[in-house]
Amino acid sequence: MTDAFLDARRLLKGPWQAFERDVARLLICNGFQDVRVVGGSGDRGADVLGRKNGELWVIQCKFTTNGFAAAAAVDEVAEAGRLDRPLPVNVHVVEICGECNNGFSAHEEYFAAFLGATMSGSVEPVPEMFESARRALFGNSKLAAEISRSAETYVDEDGVQRLIWRPELERLEKVVVKNARGHAHYELGQPCFGQPEHVLLQPLITAPEEWITEFLLVDHGNAWPEVGSRLLQRLYSGEDMAAGWIIVQPGVYVFTVFENDGIVVRSIIREYLLTEVRWS
């Protein structure tokens, strides 16, 4: 870098708006296209966008003059990819370690793309598909081909041809467990570093009705969470809650956290995928 473009003096001068513009210029100089600065109040993770080699990059910028930026808020970027825009004001930000956060972007892209393909019945990024899935499939032809190969056709007992998708379950589980850890920490103040005892991913359409009824039933019981925890405040005020579930974005993402011989985190994603993670 040269003094005419970026140097320590320029970066330290700030303010944060100038820092975001400097990052955008750096992307352009490194061959990115369609670079846009979108940061501001309510951006929830996406400060600068850029496209390179068919992939969309979402970049979060942190400007500080008194030390390192906290590891908090890095997780917003993943949420920005999974939720619909405009993002809700109650998107969660949790403190995480760098090692925990790094390496998940490919899994999260796969998660969104696979979910979009199974819900629409195709890897074609059609307008009806939700935004993050459409963006992933449009910008990553290799991923689209990979998911397409996981689809199989069969004829049911009525002679109707059906389509079934076989995911790389481990990749989906990594994303679900990462979200569950964040929810447990944010709502209960409980860090769940170890591997969970139980991880479940269940498409709603194939779930037995009695099982769905039991899954939806949330009983926080008489054992209220720790004093000062976010969940205790929610239970007292009813903020963003319905029948024990926390509503992040209606029809897109809801979840619940409770303690029952351990910590249990359940979520409903796009009214299609039901998940449960349990730590004993």
- How far is the C-alpha of 110 from the C-alpha of 125, rounded, in Å? 14
Judge whether residue 263 has pLDDT over 70. Answer: yes
pLDDT at 57 over 70: yes
For residue 162, what pLDDT is reported?
84
Task: Decide if 168 contacts 268 (C-beta within 8 A).
Answer: no
Per-residue pLDDT, 11: 66
Q: Report pLDDT digits (tens) over 64-99.
A: 666 555 544 445 555 555 556 565 555 554 444 444
**107-152 residue pLDDT tens:** 889 999 999 999 999 999 988 899 889 988 988 899 999 999 999 9
pLDDT level of residue 7 (50, 70, 90 thresholds): low
- 226 pLDDT tier (thresholds 50, 70, 90): low
Where along the chain do its domains lie? 8-98, 106-165, 173-279
Tell me the mean pLDDT in the region 56-68: 69
Q: Could you tell me which residues are beta bridge partners of residue 242?
A: 245
Cα separation of 270 and 279, whole Å? Answer: 24
* pLDDT for 103: 45
Cis link prior to 208 (omega < 30° from 0)? no
CA distance between the termini of the chain? 51
Mean pLDDT of 205-211: 93
Give Cα 277 distance to the centre of its chain. 15
The model's pTM is: 0.64
Contact 236/163 with Cβ under 8 angstroms?
Answer: no
Is-contact 113 140, C-beta < 8 A?
Answer: yes
- Two tokens, residue 167: 């995911």
Instruction: Find the mean pLDDT for residues 223-249.
Output: 77
In whole angstroms, how far apart are CA 131 and each of 45, 52, 248, 272?
16, 19, 17, 16
Residue 273: pLDDT band with limits 50, 70, 90: very high
Q: Residue 42: pLDDT above 80?
A: no
**Residue 188 pLDDT > 70:** yes
